[in-house]
């Protein structure tokens, strides 16, 4: 592991402990060259997953890409970083523990939609608008009407509060 300060590879682990429900290891490191201290989070990767995209192309699964898309959907929402990371870790665990080495982007999107529907109804609708490629406001209305039972009264409350602002 290279030091972020001086780029030396002469670093040592000072402390190591579990983090994020045992899905990652938090390591406190020190640089032998410059004396700098830094923390790393290391995740266990069970295996490489290939994602089969809608256009037929294949790509290596990228946890960071998944994280970015979820964070965009939840931008300015009352959801903390820890909840987002737990949700993403749960999705990744489900994907890695399946028997398949390839997973479709549609399956990943479905897992994200399922998780967001319980975490934050507005984030769920935002993610759906990109995932389902909404073209105009009536697409939002149809989606919300169709999924109203899932979204529940919480979305009504959210929308009502934003109207008053």
Strand partners, 31: 11
Give pLDDT, residue 100.
82
SS3 content of the chain, % helix, strand, coil (to 5): 50, 20, 30
Give pLDDT, residue 151.
63
* Mean pLDDT, each 10-residue run in order, the chain (165 residues): 90 82 80 92 73 93 94 95 92 86 93 93 92 91 81 55 49
Burial class (CB in 10 A: 0-12, 13-18, 19+), 49: buried
Give pLDDT, residue 41.
80
Distances (CA, A) of 86 to 11, 63, 82, 90, 141: 29, 13, 6, 6, 30
Give pLDDT, residue 165.
45
Put simply, whether the predicted model's pTM sits higher than 0.75 gets the answer no
């Amino acid at each position: 592991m290279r030091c972020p300060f001086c780029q030396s590879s002469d670093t040592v682990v000072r402390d190591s402990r579990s983090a994020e429900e045992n899905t990652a290891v938090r390591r406190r490191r020190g640089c032998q060259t410059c004396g700098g201290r830094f923390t790393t989070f290391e995740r266990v990767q069970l295996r490489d997953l290939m994602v089969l995209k809608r256009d037929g192309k294949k790509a290596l699964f990228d946890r960071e890409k998944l994280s970015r898309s979820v964070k965009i959907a939840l931008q300015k929402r009352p959801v903390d970083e820890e909840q987002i990371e737990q949700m993403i870790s749960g999705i990744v665990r489900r994907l890695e523990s399946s028997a398949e080495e390839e997973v479709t982007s549609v399956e990943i999107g479905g897992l994200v939609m399922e998780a967001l529907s319980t975490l934050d109804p507005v984030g769920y609708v935002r993610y759906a608008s990109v995932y389902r490629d909404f073209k105009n406001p009536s697409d939002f209305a149809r989606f919300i009407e169709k999924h109203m039972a899932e979204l529940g009264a919480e979305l009504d409350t959210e929308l009502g509060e934003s109207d008053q602002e």
